[in-house]
Amino acid sequence: MNYIETMIDGVWVIEPKVLGDARGYFMEAFKEEEFQEKVGHVHFIQDNESQSTYGVLRGLHYQQGADSQAKLVRVLKGRVIDVAVDLRRSSPTFGQYISVELSESNKRQLFIPRGFAHGFCVLSEEAIFLYKVDQPYAPQSEACIRFDDPTINVDWPLAPQEMVLSEKDKKGMLFSEAPCF
């Protein structure tokens, strides 16, 4: 696998080696020893999967405090723009974000450490999104920053009228109001 450091410390793009022929393809999606050597020790405890249709925007979500989650995300079917926002006050990139296209064709993965808000927007007819996490879901610690926060100013590829949002995501707080790490 190819591990690519991003402009935000701790966030990695991971490109697997894909072996393909007329029958299809094979790839290793995760190797714990190699991951720990390149990225660091993260003990993933759960795999999650979501299915969404075109225009669905999920995020920007995170869990606060000790319930914060590190995530390794990828797309099994379709295409998304995936976003991670640095919420670590001590970081030189505090309030900045990284945006990466993840798709079934590029097979890229994005590692997002603890201390980040995360979201994605579906650009294909359907997307199946997979992620590994190192902490269980803790609803009492959940927080949501608005997808259209003017301070973060994520450059989403769809116009707001094309986006499909949950009520929770529509009511997310502004970055200036968000509890950070």
Which active-site residues does the annotation give? 61, 131
Of the candidates 122, 121, 100, 104, the residue with the CA atom closest to the CA atom of residue 112? 100
In the DSSP assignment, the letter for residue 172 is P
Burial class (CB in 10 A: 0-12, 13-18, 19+), 123: middle
User: What are the backbone dihedrals phi and psi of residue 35, each rounded to the nearest 5 degrees, phi first?
Assistant: -60, -45
Chain centroid to CA 150 = 20
Torsion, Cα of 10, 153, 87, 141 (10° steps): -120
Tokens for 154, please give them: 């994520």
Amino acid making up residue 89: R
